[in-house]
Amino acid sequence: MDFYRKSQITSISELNAYEGGHNLTPIFKGSQFPIFVYVTAAEFETVRGNKKAMKDLAIQKLNNGPVDISRNAMSYPPDAIYTGKKPYKLTIKWE
């Protein structure tokens, strides 16, 4: 069973990210802040300008992981390891 559903998204947009990639930024019902979902430049080109397709891609990434959903990950590449001062410790590992 999938945890995230497209019907729960109230709004979605995108932000530029590392090396031409983008962060899809869905906001879910009951939340004030978006979840950042990193997608490559090639993946983004398939959904550019199409909110429905952006929602589909965000849900696919969130349900099939791994996705770092912390707000601190928005400017780092998917294989980055960031160890900042508290409370901003972040480790991203993709395999």
Of 20 and 93, which is predicted with more confidence?
20
Could you tell me if 21 and 38 are in contact, meaning their C-beta atoms sit under 8 angstroms apart? yes
Residue 68 structure tokens:
């770092």
pLDDT tens, position by position, 42-90: 999 999 989 999 999 999 988 886 655 454 444 444 454 544 444 444 4
Give the pLDDT mean for 7-17: 92
Cis amide bond preceding 34, omega within 30: no
Query: Looking at the whole model, is its pTM more than 0.75?
Result: no
